[in-house]
Chains A and B, each alone.
Chain A
């Protein structure tokens, strides 16, 4: 074989393979995502990334969206807003995605919003804070419920029990601080008075002094503990140690089996506003969310071998919403997708039922939370 013929063959091969690669690119839905897969918020980003990967595989196996295969370009911002901003720019300019899911944390999300607003690309955040969608930004949506809603749900339940005076003990971390502020903001609307307001640090080992103060405050009928991590489990144990008998309310920040494992016997009787996923198996048969929640839980657990978490559910909702919006829009045009998202009504997700409007880019109401109580080492629905 001459050198010339090798060259010709190589050229022919290159042309052929070029065709082969170019073919699927003709019908491709290109989505982007940047999540905190590693770093301090990896407990959020890790299940979110796994969920997205699982969904992309599922959707492609079932024929894609509008007959086009889905490509997900995934970055890991490690919860660092600087990284998130860089990746957001890259998603817009180099990867040319048509929509973005991500920002596991509020910091990363806020850093990215200006970029997607400028580029006019729909962006669904998976972070908690209310500032993301209040005031409403044209291209920004979010799936997790807010801490303000958790407060409202808990206060509703207190009202039902005829509780008028409460004590609060809050973590000083980002989650506890934010929720404490939101709760204090709306507590008056429910005719409830906060008579003791204590805090504790994220690494504290004993909260009995704070609880003793609450215990000795006049007329405390219930105690609310906004917090995250191991703190609420310690509060619960100290609560039992001091023999306090008023109802103890925990936040959705600790709505997982590991809270019961850590707090042990002391967790009995603790109430919290929890997402539906936590009580997937005990939802009523005619519950609108039941099928979605149970299906996601089973799929995730068999795919990853790990217990399902609320955070993965946020990513599930974001992806399914986007899929529905692209199908409704019938095109890859970001503006059409945005309009379809904003007009979305009655979309049943893992987190709740979403009803978007031009004034509401969260779209959830209080029914997204369920009041649960710990009984015999498990969460039981009480409403």
Chain B
């Protein structure tokens, strides 16, 4: 029993990290249908900047705040310099641009920072919390809490605010959105800025657990992407559930079957779900008008 509980807690720890990264994908996807593969780099920038600033003597909250701000500026620059000039290009071309941006950002980080792994102290210490014979580190609760808060924020944003609806409208039909008075250029910039902030926040929260280095972005983006696909691209509840589900499947496979098949099991589950539900668990059904 304690064994199962430990596997579940491990799954939640890892799953919350995936979910937090997956949530970052939703905004840009909803605004433009572009899957931003540079999302992992925002996580890296958040973690690395915080690690370096706090090592330089800044209090952790200030370092984290500056790191999120830096990521927001980079997100805006990414939109203005790379994505916006290619407006009108097919979505696939834009996705490839984000892959290029991801390689560029991690390369730049390698030069600006260094090639080593870094971490900073967990927010509430390292003493594990014991639950029925199993343990979890307090930082995992921070990650889980962060994922919940971002989820709630995004959910309210899309359903209750005018700006959120403007984002959805822009994705639906850019021309029509423009005609009803939505500044679609601003909506794109805004969604990149907010996505970068979510990514950097994820980086700040997960670094005490996973460590960070210039090249962690791609790996995190892939797992987050898998979580978002499983839950339904663009859906905040989907990202949360999808990320947690993948974390749990991995942990249970590692625990009960074999750690060698952990990643394979997660991807088999994703394939299985997408075979029957191509939109993912929570994705909106797409109707093609002919």
**B206 within 8 A of partner (CB):** yes
Contact: A209 with B137, CB < 8 Å? no
Contact: B7 with A241, CB < 8 Å? no
Contact: B115 with A43, CB < 8 Å? yes
Give per-residue flags for B240-282: 1 if the beta carbon is below 8 A from chain A beta carbons, else 0.
Answer: 0000000000011011000110110000000000000000000
Which residues in chain A, 250-268, are within 8 Å of chain B measured between CB atoms? 258, 261-262, 264-266
Contact: B211 with A234, CB < 8 Å? yes
**A233 within 8 A of partner (CB):** yes
Which residues in chain B, 102-120, are within 8 Å of chain A measured between CB atoms? 115-117, 119
* Stretch of B10-18, B84-92, B179-187 contacting A (4+ beta carbons < 8 Å): B10-18
Q: Which of A203, A212, A242 contacts B255 (CB 8 A)?
A: A212
Task: Known A201-B262, A206-B209, A234-B211; judge A212-B13 contact (CB<8 A).
Answer: no
Q: Which of A201, A212, A264 contacts B126 (CB 8 A)?
A: A264
Task: Known A206-B251, A209-B6; judge A233-B259 contact (CB<8 A).
Answer: no
- Chain B residues, CB < 8 A from A208: 6-7, 9-10, 13, 135, 251
In Å, the complex CA distance between A79 and B14 comes to: 32
Which residues in chain A, 19-69, are within 8 Å of chain B measured between CB atoms? 42-43
- Chain A residues, CB < 8 A from B128: 241-243
Contact: A229 with B117, CB < 8 Å? yes
Task: Known A208-B6, A212-B6; judge A258-B117 contact (CB<8 A).
Answer: yes
**A178 within 8 A of partner (CB):** no
In Å, the complex CA distance between A261 and B17 comes to: 22
**B210 within 8 A of partner (CB):** yes
- Chain B residues, CB < 8 A from A265: 126
Contact: A209 with B254, CB < 8 Å? yes
A-B interface contact total, Cβ < 8 Å = 82
Give per-residue flags for A313-337: 1 if the beta carbon is below 8 A from chain B beta carbons, else 0.
Answer: 0000000000000000000000000
In the assembled complex, how far is the CB of residue B71 from the closest CB belonging to chain A, in whole angstroms? Answer: 20
Contact: B259 with A206, CB < 8 Å? no
Which residues in chain A, 176-228, are within 8 Å of chain B measured between CB atoms? 198-201, 203-206, 208-210, 212-213, 216
Task: Known A208-B9, A210-B259, A230-B117; judge A216-B126 contact (CB<8 A).
Answer: no
In Å, the complex CA distance between A262 and B120 comes to: 9
Q: How large is the interface on A (under 10, 10 to 19, 20 to 34, 35 or more residues)?
A: 20 to 34
Task: Known A205-B14, A230-B117, A242-B135; judge A213-B211 contact (CB<8 A).
Answer: no
Contact: A199 with B209, CB < 8 Å? no
- Chain A residues, CB < 8 A from B260: 172, 199
Secondary structure type dominating chain A contacts: helix
Task: Known A203-B219, A230-B211, A258-B116; judge A209-B17 contact (CB<8 A).
Answer: no
Which residues in chain B, 198-226, are within 8 Å of chain A measured between CB atoms? 206, 209-211, 213, 216, 219-220, 223
- Chain B residues, CB < 8 A from A199: 259-260
In Å, the complex CA distance between A258 and B136 comes to: 24
Contact: B255 with A213, CB < 8 Å? yes
In Å, the complex CA distance between A173 and B223 comes to: 18
- Chain B residues, CB < 8 A from A198: 254, 259
- Chain B residues, CB < 8 A from A237: 126
In the assembled complex, how far is the CB of residue B235 from the closest CB belonging to chain A, in whole angstroms? Answer: 24
Contact: A262 with B263, CB < 8 Å? no
Q: Which of A204, A209, A233, A243 contacts B135 (CB 8 A)?
A: A243
In the assembled complex, how far is the CB of residue A75 from the closest CB belonging to chain B, in whole angstroms? Answer: 21
In Å, the complex CA distance between A76 and B254 comes to: 40
Count of chain B residues with a beta carbon within 8 Å of a chain A beta carbon: 34
Most buried by B among A212, A258, A262, A266: A212
In Å, the complex CA distance between A201 and B10 comes to: 15
In Å, the complex CA distance between A240 and B135 comes to: 10
- Chain A residues, CB < 8 A from B254: 198, 200, 209-210
In Å, the complex CA distance between A240 and B206 comes to: 19
Which residue of the partner chain A has the closest CB to B121?
Answer: A264
Contact: A216 with B3, CB < 8 Å? yes
Contact: B119 with A262, CB < 8 Å? yes
In Å, the complex CA distance between A262 and B121 comes to: 10
In the assembled complex, how far is the CB of residue A67 from the closest CB belonging to chain B, in whole angstroms? Answer: 40
- Chain B residues, CB < 8 A from A262: 117, 119, 211
Contact: A200 with B213, CB < 8 Å? no
In the assembled complex, how far is the CB of residue B6 from the closest CB belonging to chain A, in whole angstroms? Answer: 5
- Chain A residues, CB < 8 A from B14: 204-206
Q: Which of B13, B126, B223 contacts A206 (CB 8 A)?
A: B13
Most buried by B among A198, A204, A216: A204
Contact: B13 with A205, CB < 8 Å? yes
Q: Which of A201, A209, A233, A243 contacts B7 (CB 8 A)?
A: A209
Contact: B13 with A209, CB < 8 Å? no
Contact: B255 with A209, CB < 8 Å? yes
- Chain A residues, CB < 8 A from B136: 241
Which residues in chain B, 125-160, are within 8 Å of chain A measured between CB atoms? 126, 128, 135-137
In Å, the complex CA distance between A213 and B252 comes to: 11
Q: Which of A42, A209, A234, A261 contacts B259 (CB 8 A)?
A: A209
Which residue of the partner chain A has the closest CB to B260?
Answer: A199
A sample of 22 inter-chain contacts (CB < 8 A) reads A198-B254, A199-B259, A200-B259, A203-B216, A203-B219, A205-B209, A205-B210, A206-B209, A208-B6, A209-B7, A212-B3, A212-B10, A230-B117, A230-B211, A233-B117, A233-B211, A234-B210, A241-B137, A243-B135, A258-B116, A262-B117, A266-B126
4 A-B pairs besides A206-B209, A241-B126 with CB distance below 8 A are A200-B254, A206-B251, A210-B259, A243-B128
Chain B residues in the interface with A (C-beta under 8 A): 3, 6-7, 9-10, 13-14, 17, 115-117, 119, 126, 128, 135-137, 206, 209-211, 213, 216, 219-220, 223, 251-252, 254-255, 259-260, 262-263
Chain A residues in the interface with B (C-beta under 8 A): 42-43, 172, 198-201, 203-206, 208-210, 212-213, 216, 229-230, 233-234, 237, 240-243, 258, 261-262, 264-266
* 6 closest Cβ pairs, A-B complex: A203-B219, A209-B255, A209-B254, A205-B210, A208-B10, A241-B128
